[in-house]
Structure 1
Amino acid sequence: MTYSLRIADIPSSERPRERLIALGANSLATAELLAILLGTGQGKGKLSAVGLGHYILQQLSQHRRDPLDVLRDINAQELIKIEGIGPAKATTILAAIELGKRTFQIRPLERVIIENPTAAAAALSHDLMWESQERFAAIFLDVKNRLIGIKVITIGTATETLVEPGEIFRETLKQGANRLIVAHNHPSGNLEPSQEDINLTQRLLEGAKILRISLLDHLILGEGNHCSLRDLTDLWTKYPQDD
């Protein structure tokens, strides 16, 4: 590698930022990750950002030390001593190191388990319950009914909202969910499902079966109350799900 070569002169598919987006951060060498943080090069021999990243690692590996081990506890003054590193680059590197430490130290939160329509309605209440326009939302769950995420798919008018099953399933797959609860609100407070609600539920149940995603329920919310189409209809008997 010619470390004085500008990033702009490297083929776009080989540039660190583009490679990170295409392949993920774990596919990049340490010097490339540093190059993204550095943004620009310079320093000894007017190095490129990647070249400067390699030079930093070389300087940190003196006395046979692992450069990443040195980086873990380095301070700004030590970084600035390296030719090509000023206060801006030093603080960017240190901020990234500290962010990595904090991310590593935080334990993942326990996921909420959605076991019944009441729990699902509570999870959706903020997004749907008191809205003046119809909204269609989905709750994404793993195989143990643990909450992965919630998303409002579409926002309609005061009386109707339009949603395509394809939109819902695309988002479900994007979220990596195995199970799904859909819901919409009736701003009027009348929770009786319309024929359109029933028809949509049937289409979703058919699609879920093909995609091997379990549609657990379709809820209607409004003015502090909710109802479950699974409880009100025989659709889940006609189109059984793997739940």
Structure 2
Amino acid sequence: MTYCLRIADLPTTERPRERLLTHGAKNLATAELIAILLGTGQGQGKLSAVGLGQFILQELGKNQRDPLAVLREITPQELMQIHGIKAAKAATIIAAVELGKRAFQSRPLERTVIDSPSAAAASLSQDLMWQAQERFAVLLLDVKNRLIGTQVITIGTATETLASPREIFREVIRQGATRVIVAHNHPSGNLEPSPQDIELTRQLLAGAQFLDVPLLDHLILGDGNHQSLREITTLWDEYPQGD
């Protein structure tokens, strides 16, 4: 990649912003992340934004220093001593660094404890209760049964939805949950589990045992009510979850 080019002259697949949106921020080089903040380049040699980002890191890394360690404590005035960095670019970088510090240091709010099927149903009601199509969702919990978040995994037709154990546990692991409740809705309002509901629950319980991520319940919601498969089946006796 030639870093004296403008970002607009680069192929779309090589532009930092597009790469971030496609591949995620974690897959970008540090110079590319800085380039997104800079927006434009210039400096000596009329560098692109990526080139200027590399130049900034090079300047911060002089004397065998860690560029990111220097960046964490740098002042706007020090940044503006780097050729090509004026007040606007310096302010953007400093603001991003400070935001990152605050996000890292922030303490989470007290999380809701999910200690019953009704509490779980209430947390999922907005996503599932009155929907015209079947939806399958997960309720993600920490080790103390505190709510981390909820996620709709799939959306089906008016009568069925498909959710594979792979899709479900992928989201559980990605979110770092240590316990999980799954749920889906029956738009008809009939809360009786189907044979498919029972078989999927059996597969999920077996997978939860293997992954050591207890599946606490499988709920069916509809027409303002809910049903707990843990309360009406013996599946949890067949596949103990150690919870």
TM-score (norm 2): 0.74
Instruction: Indicate the SS of the match to 2:113.
Output: coil
- State the match for 2:90 in structure 1: 90
Matches of 1:219 and 1:33 in 2, distance apart? 42
After superposing the two structures, state which structure 1 stretch, 94-103 or 201-210, moved more. Answer: 94-103
Matches of 1:68 and 1:137 in 2, distance apart? 39
After TM superposition, give the deviation of residue 208 of structure 1 in Å: 1.4
Q: 5+ unaligned residues in a row in structure 2: which ranges?
A: 6-15, 63-69
Matches of 1:210 and 1:53 in 2, distance apart? 45
Q: Encode CA deviations 1:140-198: one digit per residue, 9 max, x unaligned.
A: 11221121221111111111112111111121111122211110111111111112211
- State the match for 1:234 in structure 2: 234
The answer to whether residue 124 in structure 2 is matched with residue 153 in structure 1 is no
Matches of 1:231 and 1:37 in 2, distance apart? 53
CA contact (8 A) 1:139 1:180 kept: yes
Q: 5+ unaligned residues in a row in structure 1: which ranges?
A: 9-14, 59-65
Code of the residue aligned with 1:209 in structure 2: it is Q
The answer to whether residue 49 in structure 2 is matched with residue 52 in structure 1 is no
Give the counterpart of 1:6 among 3, 6, 10.
3
Matches of 1:206 and 1:102 in 2, distance apart? 40
- Which protein has the larger Cα radius of gyration, Structure 1 or Structure 2? 1
After TM superposition, give the deviation of residue 81 of structure 1 in Å: 6.4
Matches of 1:126 and 1:207 in 2, distance apart? 27
Instruction: Indicate the SS of the match to 1:184.
Output: strand
Could you tell me the percent identity over the aligned residues? 61
Q: Encode CA deviations 1:78-130: one digit per residue, 9 max, x unaligned.
A: 86565312354234224314423543564321222111111100110110011
Instruction: Indicate the SS of the match to 2:151.
Output: strand
Matches of 2:174 and 2:104 in 1, distance apart? 24
Instruction: Indicate the SS of the match to 2:132.
Output: coil
Code of the residue aligned with 1:147 in structure 2: it is L
After TM superposition, give the deviation of residue 232 of structure 1 in Å: 0.4
Count of residues paired in the alignment: 217
Q: In the TM superposition, what are the counterparts of 1:1-243 in structure 2 within 5 Å?
A: 6=3, 21-22=26-27, 34=34, 37-38=37-38, 41-44=41-44, 48-49=51-52, 50-55=54-59, 68-71=72-75, 74=76, 83-100=83-100, 102-103=102-103, 106-243=106-243
CA contact (8 A) 1:41 1:51 kept: no
Matches of 1:57 and 1:211 in 2, distance apart? 43
Matches of 1:94 and 1:230 in 2, distance apart? 52
Matches of 1:152 and 1:67 in 2, distance apart? 39
After TM superposition, give the deviation of residue 209 of structure 1 in Å: 1.4
Alpha carbons of 1:156 and 1:45: their partners in 2 closer, same or farther (altered >3 Å)? closer
Q: Encode CA deviations 1:12-71: one digit per residue, 9 max, x unaligned.
A: xxx9x89x734x88xx6xx8865663355543565642223444787xxxxxxx775442
Alpha carbons of 1:166 and 1:32: their partners in 2 closer, same or farther (altered >3 Å)? closer
TM-score (norm 1): 0.74
- Give the alignment's Cα RMSD to 1 decimal: 3.3
CA contact (8 A) 1:35 1:52 kept: no
Matches of 1:178 and 1:164 in 2, distance apart? 19
Instruction: Indicate the SS of the match to 1:109.
Output: coil
Matches of 1:171 and 1:46 in 2, distance apart? 44
